[in-house]
Amino acid sequence: MKYQEILKSTQPVFYRILTRSFTSGNVPHAYLLVGNNTDDAATFIAQSLVCRKEVLACEECNDCRRIKERLYPDMIVFDGNETSIKKEDIEHIQTEFYKSSFENKAKIYILKSIENASNVAMNALLKFLEEPVEGVYAILTTRNINKVLPTIQSRCQVIHLLPESKESIRLSLIKDGVANEDAKIMSQLYTSYQAASEAKDTEEYAYVKLQVLNFIEDLYEHPSNIMITQQIHIAKDYKNDKNVIRLYLNMLVLALRDVFHVKHSVPLTFEEHKKIFDKCPDDVYITNRIDEVLNTLYLIDTNANIGLLLDGMAYKITRGELMNG
Q: Provide the pLDDT for residue 98.
A: 82
Q: Provide the pLDDT for residue 99.
A: 79
Task: Give me the half-sphere count of Cα atoms (radius 13 Å) on the Cβ side of residue 146.
Answer: 0
pLDDT by 10s per residue, the chain, length 325: 788 988 888 899 999 999 999 999 999 999 999 998 899 999 999 999 999 999 999 999 999 999 999 999 999 999 998 999 999 999 999 998 887 777 788 999 999 999 999 999 999 999 999 988 889 999 999 999 999 999 999 999 999 999 888 998 999 899 889 999 999 999 999 988 878 988 988 999 999 999 999 999 999 999 999 999 999 999 888 988 999 999 999 999 999 999 999 999 999 999 999 999 999 999 989 999 999 999 999 998 887 899 999 999 999 998 754 444 4
Domain 3-163: assigned CATH number: 3.40.50.300
Tell me the pTM.
0.70
Termini Cα distance of the chain: 49
Q: Provide the pLDDT for residue 237.
A: 86
Q: Provide the pLDDT for residue 303.
A: 79
